[in-house]
Structure 1
Amino acid sequence: MEHLSTLDAGFLEAEDSDRHVSLAVGGVSVIEGPMPDFASLVDNVADRIVSIPRFKQMVRTHVLDLEPPEWVEDPNFDLSHHVHRAALPDPGDDQSLFRFVADVMERRLDRDRPLWECWIIEGLAGGRWAVLVKIHHCVADGIATMHLLSSFSDDGEGATFASEIRAAHEPTDRGVRVPKVSLNPLDWASGIWQAAVGVTNAATLAVGGVVEITGGLLRPAATSSLAGPVSTMRRYSAARVSLEEVETICHEFGVTVNDVALTAITASFRAALVRRGERPRRNSLRTLVPVSIRSNDAREAVDNRVSLMLPCLPVEKEDLVDQLHEVHGRLTTAKGSGQRQAGSGFISSIGLLPFPLTAWAVRLLTRLPQRGVVTVATNVPGPRQRSRILGREVVSVLPIPPIALQLRTGIAILSYADSLVFGIIADYDTTSDVDELARGIEQAVAQLSAVSAGVRSSAPNGD
């Protein structure tokens, strides 16, 4: 019997803490037409899921959380419970697709069945169609979700940008296995002692990271409309930029793709605050940035393998180039402070504690109103080449993050072929300007591209 890790189970607890949230992640593949016969599509999905046990498993919990939840086969598995068909109203434009995505993602997945859905969407403009796959976050993180989504394509996953992240070249961190549950208090004491040693070692290796993360979580961010209670309804939008342009900006300014992406997000949030009549402050946009700790040899593992950083994105700075340099500097500082190592060590060490203690602690913490973090921005490396589904080319992939714990917006950044795509999920009632957030991201990248072009043209011999 395979148990959920403490981190995986934590996503279930976080969802249970607020009846207004659904902690599912997803992706939309927009595909060239014409759309194949629906029965053929269902057969294709059926063929693919045979190789993915998690798609036929459901979560079984235990009374009083005396044991961790576990994955068990659904004895009544029926594909028709999971694969659905829908059509967009005319004209089938982006706004129609985004409204449909928001409607699907705001609803919780049924815990009495395997935690995923697939929607075949007809009626997109230009004769196109789409496939939306929705998976609970307790099943997989961003990279694992992309691996699952890629399994629906004709060629499987293929080469992805995931091989370029730092963790990909590090040995597999298999984490700490959940110990056998015991009701003997002496065994509990032993587990607590081992966890304490693990936390001590993590603090020794990355004491600065522990301090930074703890301080970021405990210090309230500046009060603004960006954070607070959310409703049950969602809005969705997306921004698309050229990956070649982003890489040119990286070359000219000596920064990373993630630096450019977070700078574009910073500029757009600054514009939103100004638009709403609010003053951007240094601590207005403390952002949870998940960091993958998944190595290449764990690429196919279906679970969550992430740590985190908590930088304050510099919305207080007006100049875009200043923002870029500041983002690069703050992320460099966050990396150097050991936040990634501290977060990873903490997540591993809590696996040694008896599950009832961690479950009750997570349940309590997720019900407290957190005020330190304002948004989440997660970077997910996607396929290097365009994928195909039943011979049709996937022209774009739109990532979909969740929101919870007082965060009114979440942004997922996906590299796919020659594009960088930003998927934005937001609370319906408090973020009516979600499309303006998307356009602000595109405008910021365009402006940085223009500035970098000016830098090149002014260099001797154009170098």
Structure 2
Amino acid sequence: MERLSPLDSAFLEAEDSDRHVSLALGAVAVMDGPMPEFDSVGAAIAERVARVERFRQVLQVHRLDLGAPHWAEDPTFDPHRHIHRAALPHGGDDQALFRFVADVMERRLDRDRPLWECWIIEGVAGGRWGLLMKMHHCIADGIATMQMFAGLSDSGSPDTFATDIRASRVTASAPDVRGVVLNPLEWPGALWHVATTLTDTASRSVAGALQIAGGLLNPAAESSLTGPVTTMRRFSAAHVRLRDVERIQSRFDVTLNDVALAAITSSYRDALIRRGEEPQKTSLRTLVPVSVRATDAMNLTDNRVSLMLPLLPVDKDDPLEQLQSVRHRLTRSKKAGQREAVSIFVTAVGALPFALTAWAARALMRLPQRGVVTFATNVPGPRRRLKIMGCRVARILPIPPIALQLRTGIAILSYADSLYFGITADYDAAPDVDELARGIEQAIDRLVALTERP
């Protein structure tokens, strides 16, 4: 019996805490050329999806939370029940595609069935067609989701940029943590066991834990970026060339993540000014997920992430100063051990009875959240262009969910020679989501121009 980890379960609790949110994530691929016959596309997708165990399973929960939810085979599983057909109106331009994506993603998945959907989209502009894959976040994180998405291609699971991340260069190994039965007398012993097995790492991450706690407890500057969300969503996307990003990396000795977050910083600053608000130092505390997935765990369907909580410098106007500040703050977060602190916390939670952690998570997630303003997650995609049903995949747009009073969220995906930013936003709170996307592209253009200066 495969049970959900505390982190996997947290995405269910986050969804349950607010009836306006759907914790599904996904990606939409746009293919060149006319779409093959729908029946042949549907049959091929059904055959490829059925290879993934999690797509054939349903989630089963235990009464009174006496055990973590677990996966079980769906005896009535039929992949064709999850594969849908749609056609875009108005010539199928990006606005029509983005509106369709938002409409699909804002609806919750039915927990009585396997937690995924696939939409085959006709009528994309330029004689193209699309494929939208949607699944619940409790199944997998961004990297695992992209591995499964790439598995739908003609070549199976191709090489991805995920092997470049730091965590992938170590072998996956879970800390030796004892499970605890329902007897509360055994809880202290389990926690002591966790503490003693992780002493060396813990000693390096106390500062990180304090920074994380401070970021969550200290309210961000009031702005239109946070607050309650409705059930409706908007979606938009930005596209930049990887060679431009690499040029900025080389010139200013920064990482791809530094460049992406600096561009996001610039766009959010413009958005605040456009809305008549003054960007403050604490206006944009951002949740930045960090993968802890090793190479030998790339094909596992679960969530393996830690996080950092940097304040992005929207109070700074100069693009280069923004970039340097982002680099400095991320470096400081890494050195302080924020990633390690969160990993230790997740491991310790796993040693407690599920009922205790579920009830605590349920209570905490219903409290107002004012410390974090948005999130930005970097998902490594395929290194080479894919083909689906013989059609070249021109672009892949990542689709993040939003919850916990975060009115916008951004996913960054590297695919072949491009970097794509997928932006999900609350419909009422972010009517300027397209301008947010254009602001990211403009910020990259400004940084590229700066590389030409002496």
Pairwise TM-score range, normalised by the shorter structure: over 0.9
3-state SS, counterpart of residue 363 of structure 1: helix
Letter matched to residue 64 of structure 2: L
Letter in 2 for 1:89: P
Distance 2:187 2:317 in 1: 53
Q: How does 1:6-85 map to 2 (within 5 A)?
A: 6-85=6-85
Retained in 2: the 8 A contact 1:195–1:353? no
Stretches (4+) displaced over 2 A? 173-179, 181-203
Cα offset for 1:75? 1.2
Partner SS, residue 378 of structure 1: strand
Instruction: Give a deviation string over 1:248-293, Cα, whole Å, max 9, x none.
Output: 0110111111111000000000000001111101110000000000
Stretch moving more, 196-205 or 258-267 = 196-205
Q: Is 2:202–2:340's contact at 8 Å kept on the other side of the alignment? A: no
Residue of structure 2 in register with 1:373 after alignment: 372
Q: How far apart are 1:427 and its partner, in Å? A: 0.2
For 2:258, the equivalent position in structure 1 comes to 259
CA–CA distance in 2 between the matches of 1:184 and 1:207? 29
Corresponding residue SS for 1:35? coil
Separation in structure 2 between the aligned mates of residue 13 and residue 201 of structure 1, nearest angstrom = 32
Name the residue aligned to 2:320. Answer: 321
CA deviation digits over 1:278-333, x for unaligned, max 9? 11011100000000000111111110000000000000001111101111111111
Aligned residue type for 1:305 = R
Pairwise CA distance, 1:190: 3.3
The 3-state SS of whatever aligns with 1:171 is: coil
Q: CA deviation at 1:8?
A: 0.2
- The 5 Å alignment of 1:70-149 reads 70-149=70-149
Per-residue displacement from partner, 1:201-223 (whole Å, max 9, x unpaired)? Answer: 65323111111111111111111
Q: CA deviation at 1:62?
A: 0.5
Tell me, in whole angstroms, the C-alpha distance in 1 between the residues paired with 2:275 and 2:347: 41
Residues of 1 paired with 2:306 and 2:359: CA distance?
21
CA offsets 1:50-75 (integer angstroms, 9 cap, x no match):
32100000110011100000000111
> What amino acid sits opposite 1:443 in the alignment?
Q
Secondary structure of 2:352's counterpart equals: coil
- So what's the TM-score if we normalise by structure 1? 0.96
Distance, in Å, in 1 between the alignment partners of 2:55 and 2:300 is: 13
Give, in angstroms, the shift of residue 437 of structure 1: 0.1
The answer (yes or no) to whether the contact 1:173–1:293 under 8 Å persists in 2 is no
**Residue 27 (structure 2) pairs with residue 2 (structure 1):** no
Contact 1:102 1:236 in 2 (8 A): yes
2-side partners of 1:136 and 1:10: how far apart? Answer: 12
Tell me, yes or no, if the aligned pair for 2:234 and 2:426 is still in contact at 8 Å: yes
Q: Is the 8 A contact 1:409 1:426 kept in 2?
A: yes
1:32 and 1:178 mapped to 2: Cα distance? 51
TM-score (norm 2): 0.98
List alignment gaps of at least 5 residues for structure 1. 459-463
Output the CA distance in 1 between the equivalents of 2:228 and 2:90. 34
CA contact (8 A) 1:375 1:409 kept: yes
CA distance in 1, matches of 2:12, 2:420: 28
How far residue 80 of structure 1 moved from its aligned partner, in angstroms, is 2.7
**CA distance, structure 1, for counterparts of residue 18 and residue 314 of structure 2:** 29
The whole-number CA distance in structure 2 between the counterparts of 1:165 and 1:415 is 12
Deviations, residues 206-246 of structure 1 (Å, cap 9, x unaligned): 11111111111111111100011000000000000000001
Shift in Å, 1:432: 0.3
Q: Distance in 2 between matches of 1:88 and 1:143?
A: 29
C-alpha contact 2:267 2:439 (8 A) present in aligned 1: yes
109-118 vs 336-345, which moves further: 336-345
The CA deviation at 1:185 is 3.3
Q: What value does the CA root-mean-square deviation take over the aligned residues?
A: 1.4
Relative to structure 1, is the Cα distance of residues 362 and 195 closer, same or farther in structure 2, using a 3 angstrom cutoff? Answer: farther
Q: Is the 8 A contact 2:122 2:129 kept in 1?
A: yes
How far apart, CA to CA, are the structure 2 residues paired with 1:185 and 1:231?
Answer: 40
Q: Give, in angstroms, the shift of residue 83 of structure 1.
A: 0.4
Q: Secondary structure at the match of 1:45?
A: helix
Write the letter of the residue equivalent to 2:438: R
Q: Does 1:334 align with 2:333?
A: yes
CA contact (8 A) 2:177 2:193 kept: no
Contact 2:191 2:348 in 1 (8 A): no
- Whether the 8 Å contact between 1:262 and 1:327 is mirrored in structure 2 is yes
SS in 2 for 1:404: coil
Structure 2 equivalent of residue 186 of structure 1: 185
Contact 1:413–1:420 (CA<8 Å) still a contact in 2? yes
Paired with 2:79 and 2:166, the residues of 1 have a C-alpha distance of 38
Cα distance in 1 between the residues matched to 2:34 and 2:448: 36
Alignment of 1:92-241 (within 5 A): 92-174=92-174, 179=179, 182-195=181-194, 197=196, 202-241=201-240
Partner amino acid, structure 1, of 2:27: G
Q: Comparing 195-204 with 116-125, which one deviates more in the overlay?
A: 195-204
- In 2: Cα distance, 1:369 partner to 1:201 partner: 34
Q: CA deviation at 1:184?
A: 3.0
Distance 1:45 1:126 in 2: 23
Residue 242 of structure 2 aligns with an amino acid whose one-letter code is L
Match of 1:349 in 2: 348
CA spacing shift, 1:369–1:195, aligned 2, 3 Å = farther
Q: Given that residues 144 and 301 in structure 2 are in contact (C-alpha distance below 8 angstroms), is that contact kept between their aligned partners in structure 1? A: yes
| 8 Å contact kept, 2:178–2:190 | no
Give, in whole Å, the separation in 2 of the partners of 1:175 and 1:279: 45
When the two structures are aligned, how many residues end up with a matched partner? 454
**1:249 — aligned with what?**
248
The question of whether the paired residues in 1 share the 8 Å contact of 2:139 and 2:301 is answered with: yes
Question: Are 1:124 and 1:130, in contact at CA under 8 Å, matched by a contact in 2?
Answer: yes
- CA distance in 2 between counterparts of 1:98 and 1:176 reads 45
Measured against aligned partners, the alpha-carbon deviations of 1:155-189 in whole angstroms (never above 9, x if no partner) come to 1121111010000102213356783x633333344
